Amino acid sequence: TSIQTFIEGLPKTELHLHIEGTFEPELMFKIAKRNHLKIDYADVEALKRAYSFNNLQEFLDIYYAGASVLIKEVDFYDLTWAYLTKVSGQNVKHVEIFFDPQTHTDRGVPFETVLYGIYKALKDGQEQLGVSFKLIMCFLRHLDEASAFKTLEQALPHKDKILAVGLDSSEVGNPPSKFKNVFKKALEEGFLTVAHAGEEGPPEYIWEALDLLMVTRIDHGNRCLDDPKLVKRLAEQQIPLTLCPLSNLELKVVRDLKEHPLPTMMAHNLLVTINSDDPAYFGGYMNENYWGLAQALNLSKPQIATLAKNGFKASWLNNDEKQKYI
Ligand code: ADE
Ligand code: ZN
């Protein structure tokens, strides 16, 4: 079989996915219309033409604008359901997805509206599509820690639905240390923790995520390679990195997929995984991310299979659930 067919057939996980980043232009226009809201672009084609980014911030500006048409619980349901049907068709068996409550609560959308819409779709996806899930609530790091604390308070009655907290948005200038108190409280409350670190920011941010936020995974982590001591730590502790190849290309974290750090990371025995980040904006879901990287780096079938297995290893499935796949 071809590499492409091999990738399609592999059971996969998705561990780095912003649900707001799955908002396809067609659905965006549909939901805007039923909410009587206007989008700044004439049509789907014009909107898609705006998807050209020089860095993370240029993307975030468009991503937050897109999310602003999500108002009702059914909007969040439809968004999440569209994503699940898409990846279930790509043989994704398990997802651990992010949502950004502050993007919505700061516009007056109630926390529960957001959470219930997403959660009900995830439940239905588990039952009807056989895709298991965990939910991660991210704090926006360009906002202050007080706002993150308020968001954590809103999550406390929903520990049955939210397993972990994470940290995303504009990285440079917003180090993990800015959020050490709210992560400490989240840990005391029993949440697992993850953080975006080393996407555009320096290795020091990865150290902070590990030592101050006590993360069990690093989201991205590309820049760990600048620091040999850090690489050694990540390898020894087998801390997973959730890499996002097409995101890295589109946000100019790498110039070309041929220059992606994954092979160097694998050579250092890092636990690397492939994920899609914001697939509606970066031109590909899971299979496209595997395929783009496999093509650019000439990955072998055993290497690709290892990456897919790493996803299960790095997940929060229990050992019995993992055993089926690794
Ligand atoms: N929010 C959505 N995608 C993101 C990314 N790649 N980095 C930081 N924040 C994000
Ligand atoms: Zn991300």
pLDDT band at 117 (very low <50, low <70, confident <90, very high): very high
pLDDT at 271: 99
pLDDT at 113: 99
Residue 216 lies in a domain: yes
Q: Which residues contact 76 (CB under 8 A, 6 or more apart)?
A: 19, 70, 113, 114, 116, 117, 118, 121
Q: Which ipTM did the prediction report?
A: 0.98
Measured from CB, residues less than 6 Å from any atom of ligand 1 are 18, 21, 56, 63, 168-169, 196, 199, 247, 277-278
Ligand nearest to the CA of 282: 1
Residue 131 lies in a domain: yes
pLDDT of 188-246, one tens digit each? 999 999 999 999 999 999 999 999 999 999 999 999 999 999 999 999 999 999 999 99
pLDDT band at 92 (very low <50, low <70, confident <90, very high): very high
Beta bridge partners of 277: 17
Q: Which residues contact 158 (CB under 8 A, 6 or more apart)?
A: 115
Tell me the best of 103, 169, 241, 252 to mutate to test the pocket of ligand 1, counting ligand atoms within 8 Å of each CB and taking the most: 169
Q: What domain range includes position 120?
A: 3-316
pLDDT band at 1 (very low <50, low <70, confident <90, very high): very high
Determine the distance separating the centroid of ligand 1 and the alpha carbon of 229, expressed in angstroms: 26
CATH of the domain at 255: 3.20.20.140
pLDDT at 13: 98
Instruction: Enumerate the H helices of 251-300 as residue ranges.
Output: 262-267, 279-282, 286-297
Tell me if 228 sits within 8 A of 258, measured CB to CB: no
The protein residue whose alpha carbon is closest to atom 9 in ligand 1 is: 169
Instruction: Tell me the DSSP string of 42-83.
Output: SSHHHHHHT---SSHHHHHHHHHHHHTT--SHHHHHHHHHHH
Residue 323 lies in a domain: no
What average pLDDT is seen over the chain? 98
pLDDT at 69: 98
Report the phi/psi class of residue 218: left, alpha or beta, with left for phi > 0 and alpha for psi in -120 to 50: beta
Residue 324 lies in a domain: no
pLDDT band at 307 (very low <50, low <70, confident <90, very high): very high
pLDDT at 166: 99
pLDDT of 194-207, one tens digit each? 999 999 999 999 99
Residue 325 lies in a domain: no
pLDDT at 238: 98
Tell me the best of 14, 20, 199 to mutate to test the pocket of ligand 1, counting ligand atoms within 8 Å of each CB and taking the most: 199
Pairing of strands 192-197, 164-168: parallel
pLDDT band at 111 (very low <50, low <70, confident <90, very high): very high
pLDDT at 219: 99
Q: For the chain, what is the domain count?
A: 1
pLDDT at 100: 98
The protein residue whose alpha carbon is closest to atom 6 in ligand 1 is: 277
pLDDT at 35: 98
Identified catalytic residue from 24, 73, 96, 199 = 199
**Known catalytic membership, residue 199:** yes
Determine the distance separating the centroid of ligand 2 and the alpha carbon of 140, expressed in angstroms: 11
Share of the chain above pLDDT 90, in %: 100
pTM for the structure as a whole: 0.98
Q: How far apart are CA 147 and CA 167, in angstroms?
A: 13
Determine the distance separating the centroid of ligand 1 and the alpha carbon of 241, expressed in angstroms: 15
What are the Cα distances from residue 324, in Å, to 12, 182, 321?
12, 36, 6
